[in-house]
Amino acid sequence: MSFLERYPEATLQDLYKGSFQDFFGPAHAISNREGVKQYLLAELEQVASDVAPHNEPCGWRGEYIRVDLAWIKSGQIELDALVDAFVSSAEPIDVSRVDAWRREWSLIESVVRSVAPHIRRLEDDSAALQQMLSEGHYVVHHSDEFNAAYNPHYRIVRKDKFDTIFP
């Protein structure tokens, strides 16, 4: 199932977020292990108990996996295991890869335009993302529409770290 099939309320901004995460990983979200753990504990309060957890690649590369926090809430994985995998997945953003990211995003957006021209806010999001990139900014949050429809709670981990949590 594709991202847009699973999340029909997603916007181009949401596709950008996942693709960015798949390219750079979670480095932008990490300060220190204890801070990560405390933030995750607080976020777990917002995770519904009746949600069936699932995992999915962040983007087409499959370098990083979104791990649903419902796995912890249901007791199927340990909090510390996910914290360790998340923290060890973070590498400083290599600024030399920024130009490669811009090129890759341009290609991804072209594909999205050809396969999903109906995606909501396509032109507005495209313009906003281009403006953001031209100003040297790269990180976005999920769209309000995505958050309202899906209430996402996850952490991203590198594929090899994911395999240690879910062998």
Helix (H, G, I), strand (E, B) or coil at 88: helix
| pLDDT tens per residue, range 64-109 | 999 999 999 988 999 999 999 999 998 877 888 899 999 999 999 9
pLDDT band of 29, cuts 50, 70, 90: low
The C-alpha angle 29, 33, 34, rounded to 5 degrees, equals 115
* 112: Cα within 13 Å, side-chain hemisphere: 27
Share of the chain above pLDDT 70, in %: 97
Give the per-residue pLDDT at 1.
Answer: 65
How far is the C-alpha of 51 from the C-alpha of 74, rounded, in Å? 9
pLDDT at 27 over 90: no
The domain spans of the chain are 3-165
